[in-house]
Structure 1
Amino acid sequence: MKTNFIIRGLGMYAPERVVTNVDLEKIVDTSDEWITTRTGIRQRHVVAEDEAASDMAYEAAKKALANAGMEADELTHIVCGTFTPDAIIPSTACRVQEKLGITGQMCIDVQAACSGFLYAMQTARGYLALEPESKVLVVTSEVISRRLNWEDRTTCVLFGDAAGAAIITTGEADETPRIVDVILAADGSLGDLLTVNGGGSAHSYKKGETVGDEYFVQMQGRDIFKHAVRNMVGISEKLLAKHGIDKNDVDVLIPHQANLRIIDAVGRKFDIPEEKVFSNIDRYGNTSAASVPVALTEAVETGFVKKGDLVLMPTFGGGFTWGAGLIQF
Structure 2
Amino acid sequence: MTGGTGGAADRAVICGIGYRVPDRIVTNAELCARLDTSEDWIVARTGISRRRWVEPGEATSDLAVRAGRAALKSAGGGQIDAVVLATTTPDQRCPATAPEVASRLGLGGVAALDVSAVCTGFLYGLATAAGFIAAGLAERVLMIAAEAFSTLLDPDDRTTLPIFGDGAGAVVLRRGRADEPGAVGPLVLGSDGDRSELITVKAGGARQPFPGPIPDDGSQYFKMRGREVFRQSVERMSAAGTEALSLAGWQLGDVDRVVTHQANARVSAALAERLGLRRDVMAQNIADVGNTAAASIPVLLAQATADGSVEAGHRLLLVAFGGGLTWGATTLTWPHLELHDA
State TM-score, norm by structure 2: 0.93
Q: Distance in 2 between matches of 1:244 and 1:289?
A: 27
1:22 — aligned with what? 29
Is 1:99 aligned to residue 75 of structure 2?
no
Q: Distance in 2 between matches of 1:173 and 1:155?
A: 40
Mapping 1:51-70, distance limit 5 Å: 51-70=58-77
| Further displaced range: 5-14 or 208-217 | 208-217
Is 1:77 aligned to residue 77 of structure 2?
no
Q: Distance in 2 between matches of 1:169 and 1:284?
A: 29
Aligned counterpart in structure 2 of residue 7 of structure 1, from 14, 27, 41 = 14
Aligned counterpart in structure 2 of residue 192 of structure 1, from 188, 197, 200 = 197
Gaps of 5+ in 1: none
Q: Distance in 1 between matches of 2:241 and 2:180?
A: 24
1:149 — aligned with what? 154
| Further displaced range: 241-250 or 31-40 | 241-250
Return the letter of the residue paired with 2:31: L
Query: 3-state DSSP class of the match of 2:250?
Result: coil
Query: 3-state DSSP class of the match of 1:327?
Result: strand
CA shift for structure 1 position 260: 0.3
2:41 — aligned with what? 34
Return the letter of the residue paired with 2:49: R
Gaps of 5+ in 2: 1-6, 335-342
1:114 — aligned with what? 119
1:264 — aligned with what? 269
Q: Distance in 1 between matches of 2:213 and 2:197?
A: 27
CA shift for structure 1 position 181: 2.1
Q: Distance in 2 between matches of 1:171 and 1:244?
A: 20
CA shift for structure 1 position 208: 3.4
Aligned counterpart in structure 2 of residue 126 of structure 1, from 120, 125, 131 = 131
Query: 3-state DSSP class of the match of 1:322?
Result: strand
- Verify the 8 A CA contact 2:15 2:75 in the aligned structure 1: yes
Q: Distance in 1 between matches of 2:100 and 2:330?
A: 27
1:236 — aligned with what? 241
| Further displaced range: 118-127 or 1-10 | 1-10
Counterparts in 2 of 1:173 and 1:234: CA distance versus 1, 3 Å = closer
Aligned counterpart in structure 2 of residue 248 of structure 1, from 234, 237, 253 = 253
1:136 — aligned with what? 141
- Verify the 8 A CA contact 1:132 1:170 in the aligned structure 2: no
State TM-score, norm by structure 1: 0.97
Counterparts in 2 of 1:243 and 1:177: CA distance versus 1, 3 Å = closer
Q: Distance in 2 between matches of 1:210 and 1:223?
A: 26
2:281 — aligned with what? 276
Identity %: 37
Q: Distance in 2 between matches of 1:269 and 1:133?
A: 39
CA shift for structure 1 position 244: 2.4
1:47 — aligned with what? 54
| Further displaced range: 270-279 or 201-210 | 201-210
Cα displacement string for residues 99-149 of structure 1 (whole angstroms, at most 9, x for unaligned residues):
112311101100000000000000011110011652101001111111100
- Verify the 8 A CA contact 1:39 1:261 in the aligned structure 2: yes
| Further displaced range: 223-232 or 208-217 | 208-217
Q: Distance in 2 between matches of 1:251 and 1:193?
A: 32
Cα displacement string for residues 144-192 of structure 1 (whole angstroms, at most 9, x for unaligned residues):
1111001010111110000010001111344322212221000000010
- Verify the 8 A CA contact 2:99 2:108 in the aligned structure 1: no
Q: Distance in 2 between matches of 1:168 and 1:108?
A: 16
Following superposition, which runs of at least 4 residues in structure 1 exceed 3 angstroms of deviation?
208-212
1:317 — aligned with what? 322
Counterparts in 2 of 1:66 and 1:38: CA distance versus 1, 3 Å = same
Query: 3-state DSSP class of the match of 2:260?
Result: coil
Return the letter of the residue paired with 2:20: Y
Query: 3-state DSSP class of the match of 2:185?
Result: strand
Count of residue correspondences: 327
Q: Distance in 2 between matches of 1:188 and 1:17?
A: 35
